[in-house]
Chain A
Amino acid sequence: EDQVTQSPEALRLQEGESSSLNCSYTVSGLRGLFWYRQDPGKGPEFLFTLYSAGEEKEKERLKATLTKKESFLHITAPKPEDSATYLCAVQAPSNTGKLIFGQGTTLQVKP
């Protein structure tokens, strides 16, 4: 069964304290791995798509990496405005755009 597991469930950081979020997946034939950010009361906001092992994408303080079994979202010198829930999802191998989401990691960055 295709599955996505994110860890930790929650993460508290001090401003400037770098860390990583993990997304482990099992899927037969990965077509794409996606990272989203979700703020309270809002829909998820697209961050990155990764397609193959070894690929990396960066945006401001965020960098996403991908291996054959997991993806990491590295947050460098986070700021309070980075506080949000970060969602990981994989694209189903069937010929649709359906995504399978993990439960998310809720990040709190304290000033």
Chain B
Amino acid sequence: GAGVSQSPSNKVTEKGKDVELRCDPISGHTALYWYRQSLGQGLEFLIYFQGNSAPDKSGLPSDRFSAERTGGSVSTLTIQRTQQEDSAVYLCASSPDREGGYTFGSGTRLTVV
């Protein structure tokens, strides 16, 4: 596609349930990133994939968070046993390499009730 696609755009879930967020990057972009944006907060880095290299998971806030990238393309961010503090907009971005500006998707707004 022409841009980074994220689904769903909105997700409301009950505390304790697991959720999966999906990201389709721009075709051919080797780098893929997940960020989190909480109300009134800046963008917080979560995880970074670059080609076939091991992902940089240094931003994942707890072991309830995990992500994978299949076939160097689509990525899924999974949050297990969701908590209210997980409520935020989860943004995915891709770039042709580790340099340069990203292209962001429109994000998934997650609300944990």
- Chain A residues lying within 8 Å of B41, measured Cβ to Cβ, are 103
B1 within 8 A of A: no
Contact among A32, A44, A101, A103 for B99, CB-based, below 8 A: A32
Assess A49 versus B100: contact at CB under 8 Å? Given A96-B56, A97-B48, A97-B95.
yes
Interface positions of A from 41 to 91, Cβ below 8 Å from B: 41-49, 87, 89, 91
- Chain A residues lying within 8 Å of B48, measured Cβ to Cβ, are 96-98
A34 x B45 contact (CB < 8 A): no
| Nearest chain B CB to A42 CB, angstrom units | 5
A97 x B31 contact (CB < 8 A): yes
- Chain A residues lying within 8 Å of B45, measured Cβ to Cβ, are 98-100
Assess A42 versus B56: contact at CB under 8 Å? Given A34-B101, A49-B100, A95-B98.
no
B91 x A43 contact (CB < 8 A): yes
Q: State how many residues of chain A have any CB contact under 8 Å with chain B.
A: 27
A97 x B43 contact (CB < 8 A): no
- Nearest neighbor of A95 in chain B, beta-carbon distance: B98
A101 x B102 contact (CB < 8 A): no
Contact among A4, A41, A49 for B101, CB-based, below 8 A: A49
Contact among B35, B103, B106 for A42, CB-based, below 8 A: B106
- Chain A residues lying within 8 Å of B50, measured Cβ to Cβ, are 96-97
B56 x A44 contact (CB < 8 A): no
- Chain B residues lying within 8 Å of A96, measured Cβ to Cβ, are 48, 50, 56, 98
A-side interface residues toward B, CB under 8 Å? 4, 31-32, 34, 36, 41-49, 87, 89, 91, 95-104
